[in-house]
Each structure stands twice: as structure tokens, then as C-alpha cells.
A = this chain, B = another copy of it.
Amino acid sequence: MENKDTWLESLITSTPQDGRELAIKMARKSIAAIQTDADIRKKLRADYANDTAQLIASANVIAIEFQTVAAANNYWKKEQKLK
């Protein structure tokens, strides 16, 4: 039931860095939703971690996910105002 658990409780993170890590997690969870076998994913990982075209394509996904996370957090600007 790996992909049925709730892994995305909120888009709100306390820092941009945490938002970045959430974006990476979102990208990974999308792949896990399609290829549900964790062992196959582990094997496939070697494929793309050494293929620059696929690394760049992965970075593209992370960039899009981060746009959403950053907008959800109003670019973490509110906290700056409170300081």
C-alpha cells in the first residue's frame, strides 16, 4: 500500500530549503505512483543517475514542482516581514 499512504500533508514548509526537499520528494513520488515496484525502481535508478539527459529531465520536474511549493509558501516572504 506504499503509494496509498499520505505523504503530502501540506505544501507549507518552514524554509526554502525544506521546500526544495519537498519538491524532490514530489517528483520521486510521481515515479513511484507509476512504477509501484520498489525493487524495480531501485534498479532503474542506476539508469538515470548516470545519464545526463535524464538527470536534466529530472531537474526539470523538480523545477516545476518547486514552483508550486514556492507559490504555496508565498516565496517564504511573510516570515521575512515578521522579522
Which chain A residues have a beta carbon within 8 Å of chain B's beta carbons? 6-12, 15-17, 20, 24, 26-27, 29-31, 33-35, 40, 44-45, 47-68, 70-72, 75-77, 80
In the complex where A61-B56, A66-B65, A67-B64 touch, is A8 in contact with B20 (Cβ < 8 A)? yes
When all copies of this chain in the complex are counted, the total is: 6
Q: Within the assembled complex, what's the spacing in Å between the Cα atoms of A49 and B52? A: 10
Given contacts A49-B34, A52-B44, A53-B53, contact A71 B75 (CB under 8 A): yes
Chain A interface SS verdict (over half): helix
Q: Which of B17, B49, B58 is the one whose CB lies under 8 Å from A7? A: B17
Q: Which residues of B contact A15 (CB under 8 A)?
A: 6, 8-9
With beta carbons under 8 angstroms apart, the residue of B10, B53, B55, B75 that contacts A16 is B10
The minimal Cβ–Cβ distance linking A49 to chain B, given in whole angstroms, is 5
